[in-house]
Amino acid sequence: MTKNSYTDNTSVEKALLVSVEPDDEIRPYAIEELKDLVSTAGGLVVGEFYQRRRRPDAAYYIGPGKTEELFAGVQDTGADLVVVDSELSPVQARNLEEAVKCRVIDRTQLILDIFAQRAHTREGKLQVSLAQLTYLLPRLGNLYTKFERQQGGIGVRGGQGETKLETDRRKVRDTISDLEAQLVEVRSTRQNQRAHRRQLPFPSVALVGYTSAGKSTLLNRLSGSEVFTDAKLFATLDPTTRRVSLEDGWSILVTDTVGFVRNLPTHLVAAFRATLEETVEADLLVHVVDAAHPHYETQMQAVMDVLDELGASDKPVMTVFNKADAVKDQFALRVALADTADSASISALTGYGVDEMTQQMVRMLEEQLVPVHICLPYNRTDLLARCYEYGRVNHLEYSEAGITVDARLTHYAAGHVAKFTIAPAV
């Protein structure tokens, strides 16, 4: 089954989209997301080409017969490039580009281009460059249509010499090594920052979710800050941490992380691992879901897949169904809330449900506190202050022996007072 649709338009970067899906139900969502990605990258979609098949063709991705139809579509629309909603093998990319006489990029290249546009910090730029070169290295051969090896000469007669391709491969490998070395320094700085935050008397929360789910808007709502937000995909790449003060005087650290996407390129997951590890270090993950999206379940699964790849799937997770005010089927939303443990519905934009969400978030954080029963000497009242800062004090009793404290503390604080532990009264 094949569907083609073309739109007449003029632009410098005109894109013809190509998608192969085994399921007709996922096709509209896949194409719509690819359109959004192209738009975010600055391109203009002039046509769509869809084929239903169980698996892509090994040589052309869409098969030689359908490739001829794609070539006709390129001619009809005047497309500057073909964008494929999958990661192409070097063979597929070369064959398809030669067949359609047009530049061909795949989903990975498209996302890498967007990340390159959105990266502003040194760490972000290094990570994007590393991901781009890692993707490029096995595909360098496609950039050369032909080359000749050096021939003969005194001292090298009969040897093969070194090709331009081999030289460039060596240069790319050297650049990758250099970028990795620079990232080691940057990651060391980030690890020091995380270690410093762990010493602060605040539990940490990481906002995770599909791109454009509303994480940055929620961070702004909670903290009163003005983190950049945008309706386009991947509006923010660099993690932002803000202190959020709660009504009872307790505070938490909330970090907005990079948004995920379906089929997130493995190169990006690897390159951005240091940034994404903010999720692994957090005490609680708040999974922000765009509840108004028709395929939010698919987006939720994509997020969980990335968390699993990062080794963060065993973290406590609170699911927040955002944009609840824009959900047309409120009954379906209530069913989703009932079926999802530790969940809440909110509108980060208007503030609806945010107070209730925060209370539930605090309850989940408190469940992770460690119960302690200690007797502090009177010359260590500084530790009593720490008990209030780093947790919840349930009971105090003053005696000649010292100050008996029943409390629930963070793991960090509990370790500092462990030597004053006493057996609870029977």
Q: Look at residue 327 in the predicted model and tell me its pLDDT.
A: 94
Q: Which residues contact 207 (CB under 8 A, 6 or more apart)?
A: 215, 218, 219, 254, 255, 256, 257, 286, 288
Question: Is residue 386's pLDDT more than 70?
Answer: yes
262 in Cβ contact with 298 (< 8 Å): yes
Q: Higher confidence at residue 241 or residue 143?
A: 241
pLDDT band with cut points at 50, 70 and 90 for residue 3? low
- Distance in angstroms (rounded) separating the CA atoms of residues 392 and 250: 9
The whole-model pTM stands at 0.77
Indicate the average pLDDT of the chain. 81
* pLDDT band, very low/low/confident/very high, at 343 (cuts 50, 70, 90): very high
CATH 3.90.1150.10 is right for the domain spanning 2-107 = no
| More reliable by pLDDT, 196 or 396 | 396
* Farthest-apart Cα atoms in the chain, separation: 96
Inter-axis angle of helices 122-136 and 164-198, nearest 10: 140
Q: Which residues is 374 bridged to in the sheet? A: 405, 421
Predicted confidence band of residue 261 (pLDDT cuts 50, 70, 90): confident
> How many Å apart are CA 364 and CA 387, to the nearest integer?
19
- d(CA 347, CA 58) in angstroms, rounded, equals 45
Q: Rounded CA gap, 217 and 235, in Å?
A: 11
Helix boundaries (H) for 272-353: 273-276, 278-281, 296-310, 330-339
Confidence of residue 346 (pLDDT cuts 50, 70, 90): very high
Containing 254, the helix (H) or strand (E) segment is strand 251-256
Distances (CA, A) of 376 to 380, 385, 399, 404, 425: 6, 11, 10, 6, 16
Does residue 1 have a pLDDT over 70? no
Query: If pLDDT is split at 50, 70 and 90, which confidence band does 250 have?
Result: confident
Stretch 100-124: mean pLDDT: 84
Would the CA dihedral through 30, 107, 259, 284 be positive or negative? Answer: positive
- Does residue 16 surpass a pLDDT of 60? yes
Q: Residue 340: what pLDDT?
A: 95
* pLDDT score at 147: 41
List the single range of 57-66, 165-174, 241-250 with lowest mean pLDDT.
Answer: 241-250
Nearest to 106 by CA among 119, 124, 118, 94: 94
At 84 the three-state DSSP class reads: strand
Q: 108-112, 194-198, 321-325, 339-343: which range is least confident on average?
A: 194-198
Comparing 153 with 305, the larger pLDDT belongs to 305
Given this structure, which CATH class describes domain 200-366? alpha beta
What does the DSSP 8-state code read for residue 196?
H
Q: d(Cα 37, Cα 30) in Å, to the nearest integer?
A: 11
pLDDT number for residue 198? 61
Q: What is the CA radius of gyration of the chain?
A: 27
Query: 3-class SS at 134?
Result: helix
